[in-house]
A and B are shown apart, each in its own frame.
Chain A
Amino acid sequence: MRHTLSILVANRFGVLTRIAELFSGRGYNIDTLNVGPTHDESVSRMTIVVKGDDQVLDQVTKQLNKLIDVLAVQDFRDGEYIDRELVLVKVATSNKSRAELMQICDIFRAKIVDVEPKNMTIEVTGDESKISKFIFLMQDFGILDLSRTGKIALPRI
C-alpha cells in the first residue's frame, strides 16, 4: 500500500539523514521525497511517498515520532489531503507536432516555459492522476528530459 507521510521537522542539519535512515534501515525505497521550509523558518515540512505494508509503515511512523527533531507526523489517507506535484518536461518537437503539443498543454493548463528549434520545456502542476496522464501523453512526442518535485501535500482540515 502506498502512503503519503507529512512530517514537520526542526530545520536542523542531519534531520533528513535520520529520517531517510529509518526507511533504508528497513529496506524500504522512498518513491518521492520533498523538503521545504514552512511559514516558520525554523520548521520544515517533508512529504514522503513510500510503498510498504501497513504494519511496517506503522512502525516507521512510531519511530519517526521518537526522533527529537520530528515535531509531528501524519500518514495521509485518500481524500483527507490536497496534493500537488510540479513537473518540468522537455519534449521533442517538430513543425508538425508543435501545434498538437500546445493544444494538449492548453487542456492540462500546462505552461510552455522554453521553446527551442527542436524541443520545448513544459511546466505542469497537478495531482498524481493528472501528472501521470500528462506524462503518458508526452511519451508519444518523445520525452528528452524530466524533473519532478515529488508530491507535496497538506491536510484538508
Chain B
Amino acid sequence: MGIGSISIQLPTTKEGTVGPEMSGADCVVASLEKEGVTTIFAYPGGASMPMHQSLTRAKSLRTVLPRHEQGGVFMAEGYARATGKVGVCMSTSGPGATNLVTGIADAYMDSVPLVAITGQVKKDMIGKGAFQETDVFGITLPIVKHSYLVIDPREIPQIIKEALLIARSGRPGPVVIDIPKDVQQAVFKPFFPTSTGLESKLAPPPLDPSLPKTILDWIEKAKRPVLYVGGGIISSGAHLELLKFAERTNIPVTTTLMGIGSFPENHKLSLKWLGMHGAVYANFAVDQCDLLLAFGVRFDDRVTGKVDAFAPKALIVHIDIDNSELNKNKRVDLAVLGDIKEALSKLNQLIDETKWHPPDFSTWHEEIQAWKIKFPFRYRKTEAHILPQMVVEEIYKLTRGEAILTTGVGQHQMWAGQFYNFHHPRTFLTSGGLGAMGFGYPAALGAKIAIPDATVIDIDGDGSFLMNIQELATAVTEEIPVKAVILNNQHLGMVVQWEDRFYDSNRAHTFLGCPNNKKRIYPDFPQICKGFGVRAERVTKPEELVPALKRMLEAQEPYVLDVIVPYTEHVLPMIPAGMTVKDIIIDND
C-alpha cells in the first residue's frame, strides 16, 4: 500500500497467549490486570453490571467507588497527574457516561493519560432510544485521542492494550471504550496479544541531529534568553534534564500553569510562572527577552495574551512532541518536532562533550533580579481577617513545599499557584485548560490513592468544593485521608473580580451565600462534613489559622478546614484577556 513513496501497513498482531473461556466482562478485567492497572474508579449501573460483577473477582485491581461519575473521572485524573500512569475510570451507559464527559474534556485539554470505559446498551438496542442509551462514541469524538465501540468481544484484549498505549504515548490524552452489555456477557476464549502493532506509529519522532548545535549557537548569540517550559516537561519526565540544562546554560526558567513543578520554584533561576496571573518578573522577562526557548508548551492564550505582542523581540525555538502545536498559535523561528526529554539530554550531552560555557548573562540576571525585588507576588496584609493568600503561604511554610496540592478553579487556584513554591513535578494538580470547577477534591482523592505517603491538600473555593462535595463519602468509605482547605468567601470570586473590573461591580448571580440572611455563612460546610463523618472545623480569625492548619495536617483521617475570607481580594497581577504586558495591573488602585 502506498501513498506517494510512503509505504503503509495496518497494524497486525499475531503473537500472544490464549486465555481460558471467560465472559467479555471478565476479559475486560483480565486485560486491565495484564496491563498492570491497579486501580479503577467505577460507579455501576445497568449497562456496566457485568463488569462490576467481574471486578469483585479481580486479583490485583482495586475498585474505588466514587459517589458521582464526575468525581470518579476526576479521581482517575488526579491519579494520573500525580503519577504519570494511565488513570482508568468506568461508568454505565447514558447518564453515567455523560457525567464522565467533563473529565474526558479536561484530560484532553491538559494532556492527561486517561481511559474511560463505559457500558452501553445491547448491540441490537443501539440507535433505538433504549433506556439509558446515549451515543457516547459520538458525544466524545472531539475530546478524545481515540475511541472504540466494541462490537466483537474477541477484540477486547487488543482494544484495552491499544487504549492504554494510546493514552500514555506521545502527547498523552483520553481514550474512550464503549462496551455494549451483550459484548460483556458473551463467553469466549480470549486471545491476549503481546503487542498492539501501533508501537512504531506512536513512538516519538526522531530528533533532528543538528538541533543541539543550533540551539547552543543561538544561546551564544543571545543576551537575554528565557526558558518557557510547560506540561510537556512533566509528561516526558524531563525535569532533571531541564534542571541540568538551565544550570549549565545559566538561563532563567518560567513555567506555564501546567508546567508548575517542572522546575524548582526555590531555585535562583526560577521565574515562577507567567501569563495572565503569573509573576510580573516572568512576564517582563519574556517581553524583553531576545531568545525564547519554548519547550513542551502550546502558547496558550492565558500565557500569551495578545499573541502578536508576546515575546516581540525574541527569536523563538519551539520543541514539542505534537506536530500540530508547532506554528499553531504563534509563528516561531525554529519549530522542532520531538520528545523534550531526548532534546534536553542531547543538549546536555553536547554541552558536556564540548565543554561548552554560556556567555555572560549577568546584566540580564541583574535586570531580572531588580524586577523580582520590585514586583514580588504580594498582598496587603491585615489583622482584621484571614486573607486567602496568607492561608496558602502558611500551608507552604508548614509543608515546606513537599505536599501535593490540588485545586478547584478560580481565585483560590491562582493564589495556590502564586503563594506556594513547588519543588517537584506532579505536585500541583489543577484543571488548567478546561478550568473545571469541582476538580480539586476528587483529584486529591485520586492522588492520595496513587501516592499514599504524600500529604495531599485540596485548596478549594466554596463554589468549587460544593460541586463535588459528595466525594466526602468516598474519602470516608475508602479511607483516604486527604485534606481540604476551603477559602470560603461566599462568592464566585474570580467572576466577582471580573465584575469589579469590567462590569461596574454589578453582582450577577455570583453571591453563593444565603440571600435572605447575608451574614450567615452558607452552606454550613462543617455541618455537612459532620453528616458525612468527616472531621471539620471553621476558622474566621487570623490567630486561629495556623493552629487549625496544624491540626488538619496532623490528622490521620480526612479533614476539611473551612476558612472564612473576604470576597474583596483580587488576584493580582493581572494581564486582562487579549492584552499585553504593558496593560498589566500590578496593585489595586
Chain A contacts to B: CB under 8 angstroms: 6, 8, 10, 13-14, 17-18, 21, 25, 38-40, 42-43, 55, 58-59, 62-63, 65-69, 71-74, 155, 157
B4, B198, B322: residue with the most chain A Cβ atoms closer than 10 Å: B4
Partner of A68, one of B137, B146, B149: B146
Among A14, A21, A39, A43, the most chain B Cβ lie within 10 Å of the Cβ of: A14
Q: Once the chains bind, are A155 and B3 in contact (CB under 8 Å)?
A: yes
CB distance from A2 to the nearest CB of B (A): 20
Cα distance, A73 to B324, chains bound together (Å): 14
Task: Kindly provide the distance from the CB of B113 to the nearest chain A CB, expressed in whole angstroms.
Answer: 15
- 29 A-B residue pairs with CB within 8 Å: A6-B3, A8-B1, A8-B3, A14-B147, A14-B149, A17-B141, A21-B141, A21-B142, A39-B1, A40-B1, A43-B1, A43-B8, A55-B327, A62-B324, A62-B326, A65-B324, A66-B145, A66-B322, A66-B323, A66-B324, A68-B146, A68-B201, A69-B146, A71-B1, A71-B3, A71-B10, A72-B8, A155-B3, A157-B5
Interface pair B141/A18, CB less than 8 Å apart: yes
Q: Does B129 contact A (CB under 8 A)?
A: no
Residues of B near A66 (CB, < 8 A) are: 145, 322-324
Residues of chain B in range 349-388 having any CB-CB distance to chain A below 8 Å: none
Q: Is B57 an interface residue (CB 8 A)?
A: no
- Interface residues of A, dominant DSSP: mixed
Q: Does B328 sit at the interface, judged by CB under 8 A?
A: yes
A75 to chain B, nearest CB (A): 11
Q: Contact flags (1/0) for B310-329 with A, using CB distance below 8 Å?
A: 00000000000011101110
A63 CB contacts on chain B under 8 angstroms:
324
Given contacts A58-B327, A62-B324, A157-B4, 8 further A-B contacts (CB under 8 A): A8-B8, A40-B10, A63-B324, A65-B324, A66-B323, A71-B10, A155-B3, A155-B4
A24 CB, nearest partner CB in chain B, Å = 10
Would B3 and A74 count as touching, CB distance under 8 A?
A: yes
B160 CB–A CB distance under 8 Å: no
Residues of B contacting A157 in the complex (Cβ-Cβ under 8 angstroms): 4-5
Report which of A40, A59, A62, A68 forms a contact with B166, defined as CB distance below 8 A.
A68
A69 to B4, CA, bound (A): 19
Residue of A nearest to B162 (CB): A68
Question: Using Cβ atoms and an 8 Å threshold, which residues of chain A touch B142?
Answer: 21, 25
Report yes or no: B5 in contact with A65, Cβ–Cβ below 8 A.
no
- Name A38's contact: one of B1, B198, B201, B323 (CB within 8 Å): B1
A155 / chain B contacts, CB cutoff of 8 Å: 3-4
Q: With A25-B142, A72-B8, A155-B4 in contact, is A62–B149 under 8 Å at CB?
A: no
Chain A residue with the shortest CB-CB distance to B148: A14
Rounded to whole angstroms, the CA-CA distance of A39 and B8 in the bound complex is: 13
Shortest distance in angstroms between B269's beta carbon and chain A's nearest beta carbon? 33
B180 smallest CB distance to A (angstroms)? 14
B323 close to A65 (CB less than 8 A): yes
Task: List residues of chain A with CB within 8 A of the CB of B137.
Answer: 14
Question: Which A residues touch B147, using CB under 8 A?
Answer: 14
Taken together as a complex, chains A and B put the C-alpha atoms of A21 and B140 apart, in Å, by 11
The reply on B547 being an interface residue by CB < 8 A is: no
Q: What B residues does A72 contact at CB under 8 A?
A: 3, 6, 8
Task: Please name all residues of chain A whose beta carbon is closer than 8 Å to the beta carbon of B10 when the two chains form the complex.
Answer: 10, 40, 42-43, 71
Query: Do B3 and A59 have beta carbons less than 8 Å apart?
Result: no
Whether a CB of chain A sits under 8 angstroms from the CB of B20 is no
Question: Does B16 interact with chain A (Cβ within 8 Å)?
Answer: no
- Decide yes or no whether B206 CB sits under 8 A from chain A: no
Q: How far is the CA of A71 from the CA of B8 in the complex (A)?
A: 7
Most buried by A among B1, B145, B162, B326: B1
In this assembly, does B209 line the interface, its C-beta being within 8 Å of a C-beta of chain A?
no
Closest 8 CB pairs of A and B: A62-B324, A72-B3, A68-B146, A71-B8, A155-B4, A62-B323, A72-B6, A42-B10
Instruction: Decide if B138 touches A59 in the complex (CB within 8 Å).
Output: no
- With the chains together, A14 CA to B177 CA distance in Å? 13
Q: Nearest chain B CB to A58's CB is how many angstroms away?
A: 8
Chain B residues with CB below 8 A from A55, complex form: 327
Instruction: Kindly state the separation between the CA atoms of A6 and B149 in the bound complex, as whole angstroms.
Output: 26
Q: Which of B95-144 contact A (CB under 8 A)?
A: 137-138, 141-142
* Chain A residues whose CB sits within 8 angstroms of the CB of B324 once the complex forms: 59, 62-63, 65-66
For A13, list chain B residues within 8 Å (CB): 149
Question: How close is A31's CB to chain B, nearest CB, in angstroms?
Answer: 21
Question: Which residues from B are CB-within-8-Å of A58?
Answer: 327
Q: CB-CB contacts of B4-20 with A at 8 A, as 1s and 0s? A: 11101010000000000
Contacts of B162 in A (CB 8 A): 68
- Inter-chain CA distance A155–B3, complex, in Å, is 7
Chain A residues whose CB sits within 8 angstroms of the CB of B198 once the complex forms: 68
Q: How far is the CB of B179 from chain A (nearest CB, A)?
A: 15
- Which residues of the partner chain A approach B5 to less than 8 Å between Cβ atoms? 157
Complex Cα distance A14/B127, Å?
A: 15
Measured CA separation A157–B5 after assembly (Å): 7
Q: In the complex the two chains form, is B138's CB within 8 Å of A17's CB?
A: yes
B328 and A59 contact, CB distance less than 8 A: yes
Contacts of B3 in A (CB 8 A): 6, 8, 71-74, 155
For A10, A66, A68, which residue has the most chain B Cβ atoms within 10 angstroms?
Answer: A68
**Minimum CB distance partner of B337 in chain A:** A62
- A residues in contact with B138, CB < 8 Å: 17
* Nearest CB of chain A from residue B283's CB, rounded to whole Å: 27
Cα-based distance from A18 to B142 in the complex (angstroms): 8
Report how far A10 CA is from B162 CA in the complex, Å: 15
Cα of A43 to Cα of B327 in the assembled complex, Å = 31
- A10 surroundings in chain B (CB, below 8 A): 10
